[in-house]
Structure 1
Protein backbone atom coordinates (compact mmCIF):
# COMPACT_ATOMS: atom_id res chain seq x y z
CA UNK A 1 0.00 0.00 0.00
CA UNK A 2 1.30 3.46 -0.93
CA UNK A 3 1.34 5.77 2.10
CA UNK A 4 -0.37 9.13 1.74
CA UNK A 5 1.80 12.24 2.20
CA UNK A 6 1.35 14.89 4.85
CA UNK A 7 0.17 18.00 2.98
CA UNK A 8 0.28 21.66 4.06
CA UNK A 9 -1.87 24.20 2.18
CA UNK A 10 -2.01 27.97 2.67
CA UNK A 11 -4.29 30.77 1.47
CA UNK A 12 -2.59 34.06 2.26
CA UNK A 13 -3.36 37.75 2.13
CA UNK A 14 -1.33 40.70 3.34
CA UNK A 15 -2.76 40.59 6.87
CA UNK A 16 -3.66 36.93 7.51
CA UNK A 17 -2.77 33.46 6.25
CA UNK A 18 -5.15 30.52 6.62
CA UNK A 19 -3.41 27.13 6.81
CA UNK A 20 -4.70 23.57 6.64
CA UNK A 21 -2.60 20.53 7.51
CA UNK A 22 -3.71 17.16 6.12
CA UNK A 23 -2.03 14.20 7.83
CA UNK A 24 -1.52 10.77 6.30
CA UNK A 25 -3.80 9.39 9.04
CA UNK A 26 -6.70 11.26 7.46
CA UNK A 27 -6.96 13.96 10.13
CA UNK A 28 -6.72 17.62 9.18
CA UNK A 29 -6.24 20.79 11.21
CA UNK A 30 -6.65 24.48 10.45
CA UNK A 31 -4.76 27.39 11.98
CA UNK A 32 -3.82 30.99 11.15
CA UNK A 33 -0.70 33.11 10.98
CA UNK A 34 0.24 36.63 9.96
CA UNK A 35 -0.06 37.45 6.29
CA UNK A 36 2.83 36.57 4.00
CA UNK A 37 3.20 38.83 0.99
CA UNK A 38 6.54 38.97 -0.88
CA UNK A 39 5.69 42.47 -2.04
CA UNK A 40 6.05 43.74 1.53
CA UNK A 41 8.25 41.11 3.23
CA UNK A 42 11.74 39.74 2.71
CA UNK A 43 12.70 36.08 2.83
CA UNK A 44 13.97 36.57 6.41
CA UNK A 45 10.67 38.20 7.42
CA UNK A 46 8.79 35.19 6.08
CA UNK A 47 11.11 32.73 7.83
CA UNK A 48 10.54 34.58 11.09
CA UNK A 49 6.75 34.24 10.78
CA UNK A 50 7.08 30.56 9.85
CA UNK A 51 9.22 29.80 12.91
CA UNK A 52 6.99 31.75 15.28
CA UNK A 53 3.49 31.03 13.99
CA UNK A 54 3.51 28.03 11.64
CA UNK A 55 6.12 25.43 12.55
CA UNK A 56 4.76 24.95 16.12
CA UNK A 57 1.48 23.71 14.58
CA UNK A 58 3.13 21.10 12.36
CA UNK A 59 3.49 17.45 13.26
CA UNK A 60 5.07 14.62 11.34
CA UNK A 61 7.15 14.99 8.22
CA UNK A 62 5.58 17.43 5.72
CA UNK A 63 6.11 16.12 2.17
CA UNK A 64 4.06 18.59 0.12
CA UNK A 65 3.35 22.32 0.48
CA UNK A 66 0.95 24.32 -1.69
CA UNK A 67 1.00 28.05 -0.95
CA UNK A 68 -1.41 30.50 -2.61
CA UNK A 69 -0.89 34.14 -1.81
CA UNK A 70 -1.36 37.78 -2.68
CA UNK A 71 1.75 39.17 -4.36
CA UNK A 72 2.80 35.76 -5.72
CA UNK A 73 2.30 36.58 -9.39
CA UNK A 74 5.15 34.53 -10.85
CA UNK A 75 8.30 32.59 -10.00
CA UNK A 76 10.38 35.73 -9.48
CA UNK A 77 7.97 37.60 -7.22
CA UNK A 78 7.22 34.40 -5.27
CA UNK A 79 10.87 33.61 -4.56
CA UNK A 80 10.99 34.95 -0.96
CA UNK A 81 8.04 32.70 -0.05
CA UNK A 82 9.41 29.68 -1.91
CA UNK A 83 12.88 29.95 -0.41
CA UNK A 84 11.51 30.48 3.10
CA UNK A 85 9.27 27.41 2.87
CA UNK A 86 12.11 25.24 1.57
CA UNK A 87 14.34 26.48 4.39
CA UNK A 88 11.69 26.22 7.11
CA UNK A 89 10.29 22.83 6.09
CA UNK A 90 13.28 20.90 4.67
CA UNK A 91 11.32 17.61 4.51
CA UNK A 92 9.04 18.96 1.79
CA UNK A 93 9.67 17.27 -1.56
CA UNK A 94 7.14 19.47 -3.37
CA UNK A 95 6.82 23.23 -2.72
CA UNK A 96 4.43 25.03 -5.04
CA UNK A 97 3.79 28.77 -4.67
CA UNK A 98 1.11 30.48 -6.78
CA UNK A 99 -1.26 33.45 -6.77
CA UNK A 100 -4.27 33.76 -4.49
CA UNK A 101 -6.41 33.96 -7.65
CA UNK A 102 -5.28 30.52 -8.78
CA UNK A 103 -5.95 29.26 -5.26
CA UNK A 104 -9.47 30.65 -5.39
CA UNK A 105 -10.04 29.09 -8.83
CA UNK A 106 -8.82 25.65 -7.78
CA UNK A 107 -10.69 25.81 -4.49
CA UNK A 108 -13.95 26.89 -6.13
CA UNK A 109 -13.91 25.08 -9.47
CA UNK A 110 -11.81 22.01 -8.70
CA UNK A 111 -10.97 20.52 -12.10
CA UNK A 112 -14.01 21.91 -13.91
CA UNK A 113 -14.10 25.12 -15.99
CA UNK A 114 -15.77 28.15 -14.50
CA UNK A 115 -15.53 31.79 -13.51
CA UNK A 116 -13.82 32.32 -10.16
CA UNK A 117 -14.13 35.60 -8.29
CA UNK A 118 -12.82 37.07 -5.04
CA UNK A 119 -14.85 39.56 -3.03
CA UNK A 120 -13.14 40.32 0.27
CA UNK A 121 -11.29 43.48 1.23
CA UNK A 122 -10.38 43.65 -2.46
CA UNK A 123 -11.82 42.13 -5.63
CA UNK A 124 -10.54 39.89 -8.41
CA UNK A 125 -11.74 37.54 -11.13
CA UNK A 126 -10.57 34.91 -13.60
CA UNK A 127 -11.79 32.39 -16.14
CA UNK A 128 -10.40 28.96 -15.22
CA UNK A 129 -10.35 26.06 -17.69
CA UNK A 130 -10.13 23.31 -15.08
CA UNK A 131 -6.37 23.40 -14.80
CA UNK A 132 -5.12 26.94 -15.18
CA UNK A 133 -6.27 30.55 -15.36
CA UNK A 134 -6.92 31.45 -18.98
CA UNK A 135 -8.00 35.07 -18.65
CA UNK A 136 -8.48 37.71 -15.98
CA UNK A 137 -10.02 41.16 -16.32
CA UNK A 138 -7.49 43.10 -14.28
CA UNK A 139 -8.70 45.10 -11.31
CA UNK A 140 -7.32 48.62 -10.95
CA UNK A 141 -7.00 48.32 -7.18
CA UNK A 142 -8.62 50.24 -4.38
CA UNK A 143 -8.59 53.81 -5.73
CA UNK A 144 -9.58 53.03 -9.32
CA UNK A 145 -11.48 49.77 -9.01
CA UNK A 146 -12.28 46.91 -6.59
CA UNK A 147 -15.99 47.44 -7.16
CA UNK A 148 -18.07 45.21 -4.89
CA UNK A 149 -15.30 44.65 -2.35
CA UNK A 150 -15.40 45.45 1.35
CA UNK A 151 -13.17 48.48 0.87
CA UNK A 152 -15.39 49.75 -1.97
CA UNK A 153 -18.57 49.30 0.09
CA UNK A 154 -17.05 51.09 3.08
CA UNK A 155 -15.73 53.93 0.95
CA UNK A 156 -19.12 54.38 -0.71
CA UNK A 157 -20.90 54.42 2.65
CA UNK A 158 -18.52 57.00 4.15
CA UNK A 159 -18.83 59.28 1.11
CA UNK A 160 -22.63 59.17 1.40
CA UNK A 161 -22.33 60.07 5.09
CA UNK A 162 -19.94 62.98 4.57
CA UNK A 163 -22.05 64.38 1.75
CA UNK A 164 -25.29 64.09 3.79
CA UNK A 165 -26.81 61.57 1.37
CA UNK A 166 -27.80 58.91 3.91
CA UNK A 167 -31.41 58.70 5.09
CA UNK A 168 -31.81 60.56 8.39
CA UNK A 169 -32.14 57.43 10.51
CA UNK A 170 -29.00 55.86 9.03
CA UNK A 171 -27.06 59.12 9.23
CA UNK A 172 -27.78 59.42 12.97
CA UNK A 173 -26.95 55.77 13.67
CA UNK A 174 -23.67 56.07 11.77
CA UNK A 175 -22.77 59.27 13.64
CA UNK A 176 -23.54 57.61 17.00
CA UNK A 177 -21.34 54.57 16.23
CA UNK A 178 -18.49 56.57 14.65
CA UNK A 179 -18.43 59.95 16.47
CA UNK A 180 -14.80 60.49 15.39
CA UNK A 181 -15.67 60.41 11.69
CA UNK A 182 -15.51 63.76 9.93
CA UNK A 183 -14.14 65.11 6.68
CA UNK A 184 -10.62 65.74 8.03
CA UNK A 185 -10.24 62.36 9.77
CA UNK A 186 -11.40 60.51 6.66
CA UNK A 187 -9.08 62.47 4.35
CA UNK A 188 -6.18 61.78 6.71
CA UNK A 189 -6.83 58.02 6.61
CA UNK A 190 -7.48 58.07 2.89
CA UNK A 191 -4.44 60.02 1.72
CA UNK A 192 -1.82 60.13 4.46
CA UNK A 193 -1.96 56.87 6.39
CA UNK A 194 -1.05 53.42 4.98
CA UNK A 195 -3.59 50.82 3.83
CA UNK A 196 -6.64 53.04 3.13
CA UNK A 197 -8.35 49.94 1.71
CA UNK A 198 -8.26 48.26 5.13
CA UNK A 199 -9.50 51.45 6.79
CA UNK A 200 -12.58 51.74 4.60
CA UNK A 201 -13.26 48.00 4.79
CA UNK A 202 -13.81 48.32 8.55
CA UNK A 203 -17.07 50.15 7.86
CA UNK A 204 -18.52 47.05 6.22
CA UNK A 205 -19.58 45.93 9.72
CA UNK A 206 -22.09 48.82 9.77
CA UNK A 207 -23.37 47.67 6.38
CA UNK A 208 -23.79 44.10 7.63
CA UNK A 209 -25.67 45.25 10.74
CA UNK A 210 -28.05 47.38 8.64
CA UNK A 211 -28.39 45.18 5.56
CA UNK A 212 -32.19 45.04 5.91
CA UNK A 213 -32.42 48.82 5.44
CA UNK A 214 -33.52 49.50 1.83
CA UNK A 215 -30.79 52.10 1.29
CA UNK A 216 -28.02 49.75 2.43
CA UNK A 217 -29.41 46.80 0.51
CA UNK A 218 -29.49 48.95 -2.62
CA UNK A 219 -25.91 50.14 -1.97
CA UNK A 220 -24.65 46.55 -1.84
CA UNK A 221 -26.75 45.48 -4.83
CA UNK A 222 -25.41 48.36 -6.96
CA UNK A 223 -21.82 47.55 -5.97
CA UNK A 224 -22.27 43.90 -6.97
CA UNK A 225 -23.89 45.00 -10.22
CA UNK A 226 -20.81 47.12 -11.00
CA UNK A 227 -18.49 44.20 -10.27
CA UNK A 228 -20.46 41.94 -12.59
CA UNK A 229 -20.55 44.51 -15.40
CA UNK A 230 -16.89 45.52 -15.19
CA UNK A 231 -15.40 42.06 -14.72
CA UNK A 232 -17.69 39.03 -15.12
CA UNK A 233 -19.57 40.11 -18.25
CA UNK A 234 -16.33 40.94 -20.06
CA UNK A 235 -15.39 37.26 -20.17
CA UNK A 236 -16.40 35.33 -23.28
CA UNK A 237 -19.83 33.67 -22.94
CA UNK A 238 -20.03 34.09 -19.14
CA UNK A 239 -23.61 32.80 -19.11
CA UNK A 240 -22.37 29.32 -20.05
CA UNK A 241 -20.38 28.81 -16.85
CA UNK A 242 -21.13 28.88 -13.12
CA UNK A 243 -19.83 32.05 -11.46
CA UNK A 244 -18.13 31.10 -8.18
CA UNK A 245 -17.07 33.42 -5.36
CA UNK A 246 -14.87 33.32 -2.30
CA UNK A 247 -14.27 35.99 0.34
CA UNK A 248 -16.10 37.37 3.35
CA UNK A 249 -18.13 39.98 1.42
CA UNK A 250 -19.43 37.43 -1.08
CA UNK A 251 -20.17 34.96 1.72
CA UNK A 252 -22.05 37.29 4.06
CA UNK A 253 -24.08 38.99 1.31
CA UNK A 254 -24.61 35.92 -0.84
CA UNK A 255 -28.39 36.36 -1.12
CA UNK A 256 -27.96 39.78 -2.72
CA UNK A 257 -25.03 38.51 -4.80
CA UNK A 258 -27.00 35.56 -6.19
CA UNK A 259 -29.90 37.86 -7.06
CA UNK A 260 -27.53 40.27 -8.82
CA UNK A 261 -26.05 37.43 -10.86
CA UNK A 262 -29.46 36.12 -11.92
CA UNK A 263 -30.57 39.63 -12.89
CA UNK A 264 -27.66 39.67 -15.36
CA UNK A 265 -28.59 36.26 -16.77
CA UNK A 266 -25.71 34.49 -15.01
CA UNK A 267 -25.56 31.18 -13.15
CA UNK A 268 -24.55 31.45 -9.45
CA UNK A 269 -22.01 28.83 -8.42
CA UNK A 270 -20.34 28.13 -5.09
CA UNK A 271 -19.97 30.96 -2.60
CA UNK A 272 -17.36 30.13 0.04
CA UNK A 273 -15.84 32.20 2.81
CA UNK A 274 -12.47 30.52 2.19
CA UNK A 275 -11.16 28.27 -0.61
CA UNK A 276 -9.15 26.06 1.79
CA UNK A 277 -11.48 23.06 1.95
CA UNK A 278 -11.81 23.07 -1.83
CA UNK A 279 -8.05 23.32 -2.20
CA UNK A 280 -7.59 20.33 0.09
CA UNK A 281 -9.97 18.29 -2.07
CA UNK A 282 -8.22 19.49 -5.23
CA UNK A 283 -4.77 18.42 -4.06
CA UNK A 284 -5.96 15.09 -2.70
Structure 2
Protein backbone atom coordinates (compact mmCIF):
# COMPACT_ATOMS: atom_id res chain seq x y z
CA UNK A 1 0.00 0.00 0.00
CA UNK A 2 1.19 3.51 -0.77
CA UNK A 3 0.05 7.02 0.13
CA UNK A 4 0.27 10.17 -1.96
CA UNK A 5 -0.40 13.46 -0.15
CA UNK A 6 -0.57 17.08 -1.26
CA UNK A 7 -0.14 19.48 1.64
CA UNK A 8 -0.83 23.19 1.48
CA UNK A 9 -0.56 25.62 4.36
CA UNK A 10 -4.26 25.15 5.16
CA UNK A 11 -5.23 21.61 4.09
CA UNK A 12 -3.63 18.30 3.11
CA UNK A 13 -5.32 15.94 0.64
CA UNK A 14 -4.34 12.30 1.12
CA UNK A 15 -4.92 9.25 -1.07
CA UNK A 16 -4.23 5.68 0.08
CA UNK A 17 -3.89 3.13 -2.71
CA UNK A 18 -4.32 -0.39 -1.39
CA UNK A 19 -2.96 -3.60 -2.89
CA UNK A 20 -6.12 -4.06 -4.99
CA UNK A 21 -5.69 -0.60 -6.51
CA UNK A 22 -8.62 0.93 -4.62
CA UNK A 23 -8.18 4.63 -3.80
CA UNK A 24 -9.25 5.96 -0.40
CA UNK A 25 -9.22 9.75 0.03
CA UNK A 26 -9.17 11.73 3.27
CA UNK A 27 -8.06 15.16 4.54
CA UNK A 28 -6.16 16.73 7.41
CA UNK A 29 -4.98 20.26 8.07
CA UNK A 30 -1.88 21.58 6.31
CA UNK A 31 1.64 21.24 7.75
CA UNK A 32 3.94 24.03 6.62
CA UNK A 33 7.25 23.46 8.47
CA UNK A 34 7.82 27.21 8.70
CA UNK A 35 4.80 27.49 10.97
CA UNK A 36 4.22 24.02 12.43
CA UNK A 37 6.69 22.35 14.81
CA UNK A 38 7.62 18.66 14.61
CA UNK A 39 5.56 18.04 17.73
CA UNK A 40 2.55 19.89 16.30
CA UNK A 41 2.63 17.90 13.04
CA UNK A 42 3.00 14.56 14.83
CA UNK A 43 0.19 15.33 17.27
CA UNK A 44 -2.13 16.51 14.49
CA UNK A 45 -1.48 13.40 12.39
CA UNK A 46 -2.10 11.10 15.35
CA UNK A 47 -5.42 12.76 16.06
CA UNK A 48 -6.67 13.49 12.54
CA UNK A 49 -5.63 10.60 10.31
CA UNK A 50 -8.33 7.91 9.98
CA UNK A 51 -8.02 5.57 12.97
CA UNK A 52 -8.51 2.51 10.77
CA UNK A 53 -5.54 3.20 8.47
CA UNK A 54 -3.46 -0.01 8.15
CA UNK A 55 -0.24 1.69 9.26
CA UNK A 56 1.73 -1.56 9.40
CA UNK A 57 0.92 -2.30 5.74
CA UNK A 58 1.74 1.12 4.26
CA UNK A 59 5.13 0.71 2.60
CA UNK A 60 5.54 4.16 1.05
CA UNK A 61 4.40 7.72 1.80
CA UNK A 62 4.93 10.37 -0.88
CA UNK A 63 4.24 13.77 0.70
CA UNK A 64 4.40 17.04 -1.23
CA UNK A 65 4.19 20.01 1.13
CA UNK A 66 4.10 23.79 1.26
CA UNK A 67 7.34 25.04 2.79
CA UNK A 68 9.26 21.82 1.98
CA UNK A 69 11.70 23.62 -0.29
CA UNK A 70 14.98 22.87 1.53
CA UNK A 71 16.59 19.73 2.88
CA UNK A 72 16.19 21.10 6.39
CA UNK A 73 12.43 21.64 6.05
CA UNK A 74 11.96 18.28 4.33
CA UNK A 75 13.77 16.60 7.23
CA UNK A 76 11.53 18.51 9.66
CA UNK A 77 8.37 17.03 8.14
CA UNK A 78 9.92 13.59 7.62
CA UNK A 79 10.89 13.39 11.28
CA UNK A 80 7.32 14.15 12.33
CA UNK A 81 5.81 11.63 9.90
CA UNK A 82 8.27 8.91 10.88
CA UNK A 83 6.68 8.80 14.31
CA UNK A 84 3.32 7.92 12.73
CA UNK A 85 4.29 5.90 9.64
CA UNK A 86 6.76 3.58 11.34
CA UNK A 87 6.76 0.90 8.60
CA UNK A 88 6.96 3.23 5.60
CA UNK A 89 9.57 4.72 3.34
CA UNK A 90 8.80 8.43 3.55
CA UNK A 91 9.54 10.70 0.58
CA UNK A 92 9.12 14.45 1.09
CA UNK A 93 9.06 16.96 -1.76
CA UNK A 94 7.96 20.51 -2.36
CA UNK A 95 4.34 21.35 -3.22
CA UNK A 96 5.71 23.18 -6.25
CA UNK A 97 6.88 19.82 -7.62
CA UNK A 98 3.36 18.51 -6.99
CA UNK A 99 1.97 21.40 -9.03
CA UNK A 100 4.38 20.81 -11.91
CA UNK A 101 3.72 17.07 -12.04
CA UNK A 102 -0.04 17.58 -11.75
CA UNK A 103 -0.46 20.14 -14.54
CA UNK A 104 2.42 19.13 -16.82
CA UNK A 105 3.15 15.47 -16.11
CA UNK A 106 6.46 14.86 -17.87
CA UNK A 107 6.11 17.82 -20.26
CA UNK A 108 8.26 20.93 -19.86
CA UNK A 109 6.55 24.23 -19.08
CA UNK A 110 5.45 26.82 -16.55
CA UNK A 111 3.57 25.86 -13.37
CA UNK A 112 2.21 27.90 -10.49
CA UNK A 113 0.30 27.70 -7.22
CA UNK A 114 -2.40 30.17 -6.21
CA UNK A 115 -3.84 28.91 -2.94
CA UNK A 116 -3.23 30.05 0.63
CA UNK A 117 0.19 31.08 -0.67
CA UNK A 118 1.86 31.58 -4.06
CA UNK A 119 4.66 29.89 -5.92
CA UNK A 120 5.80 29.44 -9.52
CA UNK A 121 8.47 27.72 -11.57
CA UNK A 122 9.82 26.52 -14.88
CA UNK A 123 9.91 22.71 -15.13
CA UNK A 124 11.78 20.56 -17.63
CA UNK A 125 9.60 17.46 -17.29
CA UNK A 126 11.68 15.99 -14.48
CA UNK A 127 12.90 18.77 -12.23
CA UNK A 128 12.30 22.42 -11.45
CA UNK A 129 14.84 24.49 -13.36
CA UNK A 130 13.94 27.99 -12.17
CA UNK A 131 11.98 29.36 -9.23
CA UNK A 132 11.56 33.01 -8.26
CA UNK A 133 11.08 33.24 -4.50
CA UNK A 134 7.50 34.20 -3.66
CA UNK A 135 8.63 35.99 -0.49
CA UNK A 136 5.99 34.18 1.59
CA UNK A 137 3.01 35.87 3.17
CA UNK A 138 4.78 38.81 4.87
CA UNK A 139 7.02 39.91 2.02
CA UNK A 140 5.14 38.65 -1.03
CA UNK A 141 2.80 35.81 -2.00
CA UNK A 142 1.13 38.11 -4.53
CA UNK A 143 -2.10 36.68 -5.97
CA UNK A 144 -2.64 34.22 -3.12
CA UNK A 145 -5.62 33.84 -0.83
CA UNK A 146 -3.55 35.40 1.92
CA UNK A 147 -2.66 38.37 -0.29
CA UNK A 148 -6.31 38.92 -1.26
CA UNK A 149 -7.32 38.57 2.39
CA UNK A 150 -4.72 41.11 3.48
CA UNK A 151 -6.01 43.61 0.92
CA UNK A 152 -9.54 43.12 2.24
CA UNK A 153 -8.43 43.54 5.85
CA UNK A 154 -6.48 46.71 5.04
CA UNK A 155 -9.61 48.20 3.47
CA UNK A 156 -11.57 47.21 6.58
CA UNK A 157 -9.05 48.74 8.99
CA UNK A 158 -8.85 51.96 6.98
CA UNK A 159 -12.56 52.28 6.34
CA UNK A 160 -12.23 51.91 2.58
CA UNK A 161 -14.78 49.12 2.12
CA UNK A 162 -18.03 49.93 0.32
CA UNK A 163 -20.83 50.18 2.88
CA UNK A 164 -22.66 46.99 1.87
CA UNK A 165 -19.43 44.97 1.93
CA UNK A 166 -18.48 46.38 5.33
CA UNK A 167 -21.90 45.49 6.76
CA UNK A 168 -21.63 41.94 5.40
CA UNK A 169 -18.12 41.65 6.81
CA UNK A 170 -19.29 42.61 10.28
CA UNK A 171 -22.36 40.36 10.12
CA UNK A 172 -20.18 37.44 9.02
CA UNK A 173 -17.20 37.75 11.38
CA UNK A 174 -18.04 40.24 14.17
CA UNK A 175 -14.36 41.24 14.18
CA UNK A 176 -13.30 44.54 15.67
CA UNK A 177 -10.19 46.26 14.40
CA UNK A 178 -8.40 45.20 17.59
CA UNK A 179 -9.44 41.59 16.92
CA UNK A 180 -7.88 41.75 13.46
CA UNK A 181 -4.60 43.15 14.76
CA UNK A 182 -4.43 40.53 17.51
CA UNK A 183 -5.04 37.67 15.06
CA UNK A 184 -2.41 38.96 12.63
CA UNK A 185 0.32 40.08 15.01
CA UNK A 186 0.08 37.94 18.15
CA UNK A 187 -1.58 34.63 17.26
CA UNK A 188 -0.08 31.76 15.22
CA UNK A 189 -0.91 30.92 11.59
CA UNK A 190 -1.67 34.48 10.51
CA UNK A 191 -1.30 33.39 6.88
CA UNK A 192 -4.18 30.96 7.29
CA UNK A 193 -6.27 33.62 9.04
CA UNK A 194 -5.76 36.14 6.23
CA UNK A 195 -6.33 33.59 3.47
CA UNK A 196 -9.71 32.66 4.91
CA UNK A 197 -11.10 36.03 3.81
CA UNK A 198 -10.65 35.23 0.12
CA UNK A 199 -13.81 33.13 0.48
CA UNK A 200 -15.64 36.22 1.73
CA UNK A 201 -14.53 38.09 -1.39
CA UNK A 202 -15.81 35.25 -3.57
CA UNK A 203 -19.12 35.07 -1.69
CA UNK A 204 -19.64 38.83 -2.09
CA UNK A 205 -18.97 39.09 -5.82
CA UNK A 206 -22.69 39.67 -6.36
CA UNK A 207 -22.90 42.35 -3.64
CA UNK A 208 -20.39 44.70 -5.23
CA UNK A 209 -18.86 43.14 -8.32
CA UNK A 210 -16.67 46.15 -9.09
CA UNK A 211 -15.06 46.12 -5.65
CA UNK A 212 -14.55 42.35 -5.39
CA UNK A 213 -13.38 42.02 -8.99
CA UNK A 214 -10.94 44.90 -8.55
CA UNK A 215 -9.51 43.42 -5.36
CA UNK A 216 -8.81 40.07 -7.00
CA UNK A 217 -7.61 41.50 -10.31
CA UNK A 218 -5.14 43.82 -8.58
CA UNK A 219 -3.79 40.84 -6.66
CA UNK A 220 -3.35 38.81 -9.86
CA UNK A 221 -1.81 41.82 -11.63
CA UNK A 222 0.77 42.03 -8.83
CA UNK A 223 1.45 38.30 -9.17
CA UNK A 224 2.20 38.68 -12.88
CA UNK A 225 4.16 41.92 -12.55
CA UNK A 226 6.41 40.74 -9.72
CA UNK A 227 6.74 37.04 -10.53
CA UNK A 228 5.38 35.57 -13.77
CA UNK A 229 6.73 38.21 -16.16
CA UNK A 230 10.19 37.88 -14.61
CA UNK A 231 10.69 34.44 -16.12
CA UNK A 232 12.61 34.39 -19.42
CA UNK A 233 10.41 34.11 -22.51
CA UNK A 234 7.33 33.74 -20.30
CA UNK A 235 4.98 34.58 -23.17
CA UNK A 236 6.12 31.45 -24.97
CA UNK A 237 4.75 29.35 -22.10
CA UNK A 238 1.17 28.40 -21.34
CA UNK A 239 -0.04 29.38 -17.87
CA UNK A 240 -0.70 26.25 -15.77
CA UNK A 241 -1.80 26.53 -12.16
CA UNK A 242 -3.19 24.66 -9.18
CA UNK A 243 -5.00 26.02 -6.13
CA UNK A 244 -8.41 27.05 -4.89
CA UNK A 245 -7.81 30.76 -5.60
CA UNK A 246 -6.88 30.10 -9.23
CA UNK A 247 -9.85 27.78 -9.63
CA UNK A 248 -12.49 29.92 -7.90
CA UNK A 249 -11.42 33.19 -9.56
CA UNK A 250 -10.64 31.57 -12.90
CA UNK A 251 -12.55 34.11 -15.00
CA UNK A 252 -10.50 36.99 -13.55
CA UNK A 253 -7.30 34.99 -13.88
CA UNK A 254 -8.09 34.39 -17.56
CA UNK A 255 -8.30 38.17 -18.06
CA UNK A 256 -4.88 38.74 -16.54
CA UNK A 257 -3.28 35.82 -18.38
CA UNK A 258 -4.53 37.22 -21.71
CA UNK A 259 -3.46 40.77 -20.84
CA UNK A 260 0.06 39.46 -20.27
CA UNK A 261 0.24 37.66 -23.61
CA UNK A 262 0.12 34.07 -22.34
CA UNK A 263 -2.11 31.16 -23.31
CA UNK A 264 -4.22 29.56 -20.60
CA UNK A 265 -3.27 25.96 -19.84
CA UNK A 266 -4.46 23.63 -17.08
CA UNK A 267 -6.18 25.21 -14.07
CA UNK A 268 -7.08 22.69 -11.37
CA UNK A 269 -8.22 23.07 -7.78
CA UNK A 270 -6.23 20.21 -6.26
CA UNK A 271 -3.37 18.17 -7.75
CA UNK A 272 -4.08 14.99 -5.80
CA UNK A 273 -5.87 13.02 -8.57
CA UNK A 274 -3.21 13.86 -11.15
CA UNK A 275 -0.45 13.07 -8.65
CA UNK A 276 -1.97 9.65 -8.05
CA UNK A 277 -1.95 9.01 -11.82
CA UNK A 278 1.65 10.20 -12.00
CA UNK A 279 2.80 7.79 -9.31
CA UNK A 280 0.80 4.87 -10.65
CA UNK A 281 2.27 5.43 -14.12
CA UNK A 282 5.70 5.73 -12.56
CA UNK A 283 5.22 2.42 -10.78
TM-score range, shorter chain: 0.7 to 0.9
- What secondary structure, in the 3-state scheme, does the structure 1 residue paired with 2:51 have? helix
- Give the equivalent residue in structure 1 for 2:72: 76
CA RMSD, 1 decimal: 2.3
Alpha-carbon distance change, 245 to 23 in structure 1, aligned in 2, over 3 angstroms? same
Counterpart contact for 2:10–2:192, Cα < 8 Å = no
1:168 aligns with 2:163: yes
In structure 1, the gaps of 5 or more residues are: 1-5
TM-score for the superposition, normalised by structure 1? 0.87
Aligned-pair distance for 1:37? 3.9
Q: Quote the Cα distance in structure 1 between the aligned partners of 2:3 and 2:223.
A: 33
Kindly indicate whether the alpha-carbon contact (under 8 Å) linking 1:74 and 1:98 is maintained by their aligned counterparts in 2: no
CA distance in 2 between counterparts of 1:47 and 1:188 reads 27
My pick for the range that moved more, 138-147 or 77-86, is 77-86
1:208 equivalent in alignment to 2:202: yes
**How far apart are residue 263 of structure 1 and its match?**
1.3
For 1:257-272, list aligned pairs within 5 A: 257-272=253-268
Stretches of 4+ aligned residues off by more than 6 angstroms: none
Q: How far did residue 7 of structure 1 move? A: 2.4
**8 Å CA contact 1:46, 1:80 repeated in 2:** no
Partner of 1:246: 242
Q: Alignment partner for residue 219 of structure 1, among 195, 215, 220?
A: 215
Equivalent-residue separation in structure 2 for 1:113 and 1:196 (angstroms): 35
The normalised TM-score by structure 2 is 0.87
Secondary structure at the aligned position of 1:117 is classed as: strand
1:33 aligns with 2:2: no
Q: Do the aligned residues in 2 keep the contact of 1:124 with 1:139 (CA within 8 Å)?
A: yes
Change (3 A) 1:169 1:197: same
Equivalent pairs counted in the alignment come to 276
Which whole-Å CA distance do the structure 2 matches of 1:95 and 1:47 have between them?
14
Bigger Rg over Cα: 1
How far does the alpha carbon of each residue in 1:139-165 deviate from its partner, in whole angstroms, 9 at most, with x for none?
112222111111111111122233232
